[in-house]
């Protein structure tokens, strides 16, 4: 193989490795960032949103033995929980979403707005000591429990989805590394072949001795003699 061609191929291989390697680095960095920021961090946020309905709401609005005085004592506690829920939910919805995830979020937002309005109206009535019979009737009817159940179920689905999407991103990273590893094996093999060709040509060139030309001996010129008269 021509020496120049071998050098060109080796240079091309080096450029290919550099470009492909940079792409692999970028892909892994993006996936790692997505796993941490969009899949791991939101897990406790979703749990907090779930606990809001599972702790203060169920305890104060689902209890059949509802007592207005107890609810009045827990109003600030409920408001603090809601403020915390709103904060973590806003942080979660600011992350990157897959279509299925966004669909669940839209459903949760609609259901949450509806049940939050009911709870807010009840709290206002209790704070202002009004409509106690109506409040008692709403809570004992079980309407709040019926409305928060699908919210909690969908939040659980989101938590499961976080794990699945995180695993998908991790699998993509493994596939990229596996492909890059095979690429490097092929590149190294070809590089050794080309390098061996260059070394062989170099040794071959050094081992061939140049043919020395034997100098041609010229006969001395013949002197011409002249006869004296």
The three-state DSSP-derived secondary structure of 17-55 is: HHHHHHHHHHHHHHHHHHHHHHHHCHHHHHHHHHHHHHH
- Does 71 fall in a domain? yes
Look at residues 95, 92, 85, 87 and name the one whose alpha carbon lies nearest to residue 51.
85
What range does the domain containing 34 cover?
3-206
Question: Do the domain assignments include residue 22?
Answer: yes
Q: How many residues does the chain have?
A: 229
Indicate the angle between helix axes 42-52 and 68-93, nearest 10 degrees: 160
Asked if the structure places residue 218 within a domain, the reply is no
How many structural domains does the chain have?
Answer: 1
Residue 191 inside a domain? The answer is yes
Q: Are 83 and 21 in contact (CB under 8 A)?
A: no
The whole-angstrom separation of Cα 38 and Cα 92 is 8
Task: Please report whether residue 27 resides in a domain.
Answer: yes
Task: Going residue by residue through the chain, which has 229 residues, state the pLDDT in tens, using 9 for 90 and above.
Answer: 566 676 677 777 777 877 877 888 888 888 887 887 778 888 888 888 888 988 888 888 886 666 778 888 889 999 999 999 999 999 999 888 889 999 999 999 999 999 999 999 988 988 888 888 888 888 888 888 899 999 999 999 999 988 888 888 888 888 888 888 887 777 777 777 777 777 766 676 666 555 555 565 665 665 555 555 4
Residue 164 lies in a domain: yes
Under 8 Å between Cβ of 35 and 169: yes
* Residue 219 in domain: no
In a domain, 137, yes or no: yes
Q: Distance (Å, rounded) from C-alpha 45 to C-alpha 89?
A: 7
pTM for the full predicted model: 0.67
Which residue shows structure tokens 């970028």?
26
């Amino acid at each position: 193989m021509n020496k120049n061609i071998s050098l060109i191929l080796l240079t091309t291989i080096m450029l290919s490795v550099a470009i492909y390697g940079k792409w692999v680095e970028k892909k892994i960095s993006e996936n790692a960032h997505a796993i941490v920021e969009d899949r791991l961090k939101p897990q406790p946020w979703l749990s907090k949103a779930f606990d809001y309905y599972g702790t203060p709401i169920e305890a104060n609005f689902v209890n059949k033995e509802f007592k207005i005085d107890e609810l009045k004592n827990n109003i600030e506690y409920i408001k603090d929980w809601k403020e915390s829920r709103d904060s973590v939910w806003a942080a979660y919805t600011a992350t990157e979403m897959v279509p299925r995830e966004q669909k669940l979020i839209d459903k949760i937002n609609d259901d949450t707005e509806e049940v939050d309005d009911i709870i807010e109206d009840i709290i206002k009535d209790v704070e202002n000591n009004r409509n106690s019979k109506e409040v008692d009737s709403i809570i004992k009817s079980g309407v709040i429990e019926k409305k928060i159940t699908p919210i909690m179920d969908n939040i659980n689905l989101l938590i499961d989805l976080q794990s699945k999407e995180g695993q998908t991103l991790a699998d993509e990273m493994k596939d990229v590394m596996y492909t890059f590893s095979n690429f490097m094996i092929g590149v190294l093999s070809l590089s050794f072949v080309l390098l061996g060709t260059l070394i062989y040509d170099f040794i071959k060139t050094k081992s061939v001795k140049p043919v020395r030309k034997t100098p041609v001996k010229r006969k001395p010129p013949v002197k011409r003699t002249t006869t004296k008269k």
